[in-house]
Structures are given as structure tokens and as C-alpha cells.
């Protein structure tokens, strides 16, 4: 990666190949990306004040755009704006599972959000086109994943469970931004670090960390979205297929809480601030939030369920319109935002943060050279160090429902 003209899998459709490669090579945030059909943030003022309903799901690729749209329209419009967020893959609103995880009968749109999708839309149009005021809608109807028994069902999926929650807003008002600091021995702690430590790994573009599920669509058979145990398996492209945990790789850093003493609900944004030092001119940093199930009869090695993930190409740490090559010996403050989510981490589970420099093929692999985006060239191994100290307090930030520790 990346592809070259005439040698890509779509070389027999050259006009499409050219279109794709053109996009691939537009690394900076320029006028190319500011077109109204692509970049909505610049054209909200052109959209009239009309009733708007938006819907997506936690393992869909449109989580951020859907939530951004809802937030902006809710703030600027007088007309009704409503949100529905399920646990599904893209378009699978009546599937009660995503990947290898089952969310239960309550997860489907039909008979939960409404009788069915058609009924929901008809009620919406009756209210706003025919002035049927009796039709009522929840402002934000969000599926909170988690709470299941953790057993394996008849389809060999983990019973993670979940339920619908209703709110008058998004982001929800009853959450508290909470920082969990990286600390020694791979722990996440509410306390800031007191010692100067660091963890180093080698990021090899020729051996990227494989994608094991996530917010993905339209990628079969190369990749599949959803929630999976974060282990190498031969059904995932680029995986070693040896059933080893991704966290056991030398190029993945994992930090987790002790087993939770009580249930903890995370609903909202998921962010990390990491202090990076690298010997490369550019590199990527990825984060992944994981719900770690303890060992059980059905899962003797536990089950590490991916909740959400994010990435930043570090040359853009000052913004996508201000690329800067990295300098050896400097420590950079890198902010990474994953897709928002809603998940109940049960008592006895661990909240885990995985850090790496690749998540392929969900994201293209950084050659670590700082070269132009989208062109073949040299690849180098980056030596990446995450600093953890009072001066460089790397942390994970979660929105935790109030009333919980």
C-alpha cells in the first residue's frame, strides 16, 4: 500500500481507479475536501430549519458525522431534531448482533424503537407534514451496550446484552469527563503518574497490526465490522491466525484498570492524549477501547471486546491543514479521538486501552517517512516511545455516567 496506477485491484476500471487515487493523495485539508457534498461543517447555514431525524449505529462508519449533524441541528434549529443510535453494523438495524457479539432481542429497531422502520417514518411524516401533534418522539434514543451474562449463545456469540436509553440531548447531560492515566505495569489509574517512565515499541510498516472488527462497512471479504475478541484469527486479513491476543504483540501497548468493583457506564466521547517521541519523520498512533471479560467456562481465556477505536497521522497533530514532519528527540502532545460510544462495563471487567501505530486494513499503513500521501516509496521502522510522567501525563478520557466512581 498504497496502490499504483495500472496495478491496483480496480485497474480494469481506470476512471474509478484515478478517482480513488486522487482522493488518496489529498492528504491535507484543502479546498478539495471543503466541497458541500463532502464537508458539512461549512454548509450547515445553507440547510433550512426543517424537522430532521438522523440514525446510525456504534459499529457504523458514520458515527461521528451523525452525532455532529444531530448536535448542530439541535442547537441551531427550532424544528424538531431527533437521534437514533443502535449497536448495529451499517444498515443492519434488525440484526441483534455485530460480529461475534450478541446484544439481545431488545437491540433490533423493529418492536423496540417502533413497530418497524416504515411505521417510524410514517409517524414522523404525519407529525411534520400533516400536523398530527399526538405523534411523539424521543429526542435521543441511544442503545447502551452491555449488561449481559457473558455466556456464549447457540450461534457461538458472546451475550453482551444492552438496552435503549432516552435522553433530551447528545452529548448527554448526566456524564462526567474522567481521565484515566497511563501508569507503570500497564495500569490505568485515576491518579496522575508520579514517576518518569516510558514504553517503547517498533512500528514496522511491513508487519502492521491487523484490523479485528470495528466501525466498518462495505469491506467484505477483506475486512468485517463489529465486535470481536481481539485475537489473531485467519478470518481477518493480515492476521497471523495463531489465536494470540493482539495485546501480546510487541507493537501493541495495553493499559487497563483493575477489575471494576461496580458497573461503570461510558456514554459519549472517547479521547486520549499521548506524549510521543519517535525517531521517524512521521508515524501513526491508534487507540482502541476494550471491554475485557474475565475468564469463564465458555471463554477460558476471557473475551476482549473492541468498543471503539481511533487514529491520528502524527504529522497532522497541529491540524489537517498544518502538516509538520516530526523531529527526533522531541516529545509531541498527540490528541486522538475515537468514535463516541455507549457501553456498560460490568463489575469484574477491566477497561482497557490499546495503543499501536497501525490498524490495517481499516486504515492505510504509514511508511513512517513523512513523504507525500498516496505514493509508493520507502518504508522505515519507527521507534516510538510513549512517555508517562508528571511532565508528560498520558491519559485516556471517558464520559462516565454521573453517580458512579
Predicted confidence (pLDDT) per residue in 341-356, tens digit: 999 999 999 999 999 9
- Non-local (6+) Cβ contacts of 96 within 8 A are 102, 103, 104, 105, 107, 108
- For the segment 159-176, the average pLDDT, to the nearest whole number, is 96
Q: Which three cell numbers stand for residue 63?
A: 458515527
- Confirm whether 253 is domain-assigned: yes
Quickly state the pLDDT bin for 222 (edges 50, 70, 90). confident
Quickly state the pLDDT bin for 396 (edges 50, 70, 90). very high
What pLDDT score was predicted for residue 402?
84
CATH number at residue 220: 2.60.120.260
Q: What is the mean pLDDT of the chain?
A: 95
**Last residue within a domain, chosen from 102, 135, 170:** 170
Quickly state the pLDDT bin for 1 (edges 50, 70, 90). low
The answer to whether residues 186 and 148 belong to one domain is: no
- Confirm whether 252 is domain-assigned: yes
- For the segment 117-131, the average pLDDT, to the nearest whole number, is 96
What pLDDT score was predicted for residue 80?
97
The answer to whether residues 141 and 193 belong to one domain is: no
What pLDDT score was predicted for residue 403?
62
The answer to whether residues 155 and 55 belong to one domain is: yes
The answer to whether residues 283 and 136 belong to one domain is: no
Residues 289 and 307: their CA atoms lie apart, in Å, by 5
**Last residue within a domain, chosen from 154, 170, 186:** 170
The answer to whether residues 289 and 382 belong to one domain is: yes
What pLDDT score was predicted for residue 405?
40
What pLDDT score was predicted for residue 86?
98
Domain count, the chain: 2
Q: Is pLDDT of 314 > 90? A: yes
**Last residue within a domain, chosen from 150, 170, 190:** 170
Q: 255 - beta bridge partners?
A: 353
Are 306 and 214 a contacting pair, CB within 8 Å?
A: yes
Q: Give the max Cα distance, the chain.
A: 65
Concatenate the DSSP letters of all residues of 251-311 into one string. Answer: T-EEEEPPPPSS-EEEEEEEEEEEEEEESSS--EEEEEEEEEEPP-SS-TT-EEEEEEEEE
- Confirm whether 196 is domain-assigned: yes
The answer to whether residues 365 and 259 belong to one domain is: yes
Supply the pTM of this predicted model. Answer: 0.96
Are 277 and 385 a contacting pair, CB within 8 Å?
A: yes
- Confirm whether 115 is domain-assigned: yes
Q: Which three cell numbers stand for residue 327?
A: 523531529
Are 199 and 386 a contacting pair, CB within 8 Å?
A: yes
The domain of 103 spans 47-170
Quickly state the pLDDT bin for 163 (edges 50, 70, 90). very high
- Confirm whether 25 is domain-assigned: no
- Confirm whether 122 is domain-assigned: yes
Residues 34 and 366: their CA atoms lie apart, in Å, by 24
What pLDDT score was predicted for residue 274?
99
Backbone angles phi, psi at 204, to 5 degrees: -100, 115
- Confirm whether 31 is domain-assigned: no
- Confirm whether 141 is domain-assigned: yes
Amino acid at each position: 500500500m498504497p496502490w499504483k496506477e495500472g496495478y491496483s485491484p480496480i485497474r480494469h476500471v481506470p476512471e474509478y481507479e484515478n478517482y480513488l487515487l486522487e482522493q488518496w493523495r489529498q492528504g491535507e485539508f484543502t479546498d478539495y475536501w471543503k466541497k458541500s457534498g463532502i464537508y458539512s461543517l461549512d454548509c450547515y447555514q445553507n440547510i433550512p430549519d426543517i424537522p430532521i431525524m438522523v440514525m446510525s449505529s456504534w459499529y457504523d462508519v458514520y458515527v461521528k458525522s451523525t452525532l455532529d449533524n444531530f448536535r448542530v441541528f439541535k442547537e441551531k434549529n427550532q424544528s424538531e431534531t431527533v437521534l437514533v443510535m443502535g449497536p448495529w453494523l451499517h444498515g443492519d438495524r434488525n440484526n441483534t448482533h455485530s460480529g461475534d457479539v450478541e446484544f439481545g432481542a431488545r437491540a433490533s429497531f423493529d418492536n423496540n424503537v417502533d413497530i418497524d422502520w416504515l411505521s417510524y417514518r410514517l409517524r414522523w411524516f404525519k407529525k411534520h407534514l400533516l400536523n398530527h401533534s399526538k405523534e411523539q418522539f424521543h429526542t435521543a434514543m441511544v442503545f447502551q451496550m452491555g449488561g449481559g451474562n457473558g455466556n456464549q449463545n447457540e450461534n457461538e456469540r458472546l451475550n453482551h446484552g444492552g438496552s435503549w436509553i432516552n435522553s433530551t440531548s447528545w452529548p448527554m447531560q448526566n456524564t462526567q469527563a474522567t481521565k484515566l492515566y497511563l501508569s507503570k505495569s500497564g495500569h490505568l489509574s485515576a491518579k496522575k503518574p508520579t514517576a518518569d517512565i516510558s514504553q517503547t515499541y517498533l512500528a514496522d510498516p511491513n508487519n502492521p497490526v491487523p484490523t479485528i472488527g470495528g466501525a466498518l462497512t462495505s469491506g467484505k471479504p477483506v475486512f468485517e465490522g463489529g465486535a470481536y475478541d481481539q485475537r489473531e484469527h485467519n478470518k481477518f486479513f493480515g492476521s497471523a491466525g495463531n489465536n494470540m491476543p493482539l495485546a501480546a504483540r510487541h507493537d501493541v501497548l495495553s493499559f487497563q484498570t483493575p477489575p471494576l468493583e461496580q458497573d461503570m457506564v461510558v456514554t459519549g466521547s472517547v479521547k486520549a492524549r499521548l506524549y510521543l517521541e519517535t525517531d521517524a519523520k512521521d508515524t501513526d498512533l491508534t487507540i482502541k477501547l476494550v471491554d475485557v471479560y474475565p475468564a469463564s467456562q465458555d471463554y477460558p481465556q476471557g473475551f476482549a471486546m473492541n468498543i471503539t477505536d481511533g487514529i491520528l497521522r502524527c504529522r497532522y497533530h497541529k491540524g489537517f491543514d498544518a502538516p509538520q514532519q516530526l523531529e527526533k528527540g522531541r516529545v509531541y502532545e498527540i490528541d486522538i479521538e475515537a468514535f463516541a460510544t455507549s457501553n456498560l462495563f460490568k463489575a469484574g471487567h477491566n477497561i482497557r486501552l490499546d495503543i499501536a501505530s497501525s490498524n490495517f486494513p481499516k486504515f492505510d499503513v504509514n511508511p513512517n517517512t513523512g513523504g507525500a500521501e498516496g505514493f509508493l516509496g520507502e518504508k522505515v521502522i519507527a521507534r516510538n516511545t510513549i512517555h508517562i510522567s508528571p511532565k508528560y501525563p498520558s491519559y485516556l478520557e471517558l464520559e462516565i455516567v454521573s453517580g458512579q466512581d
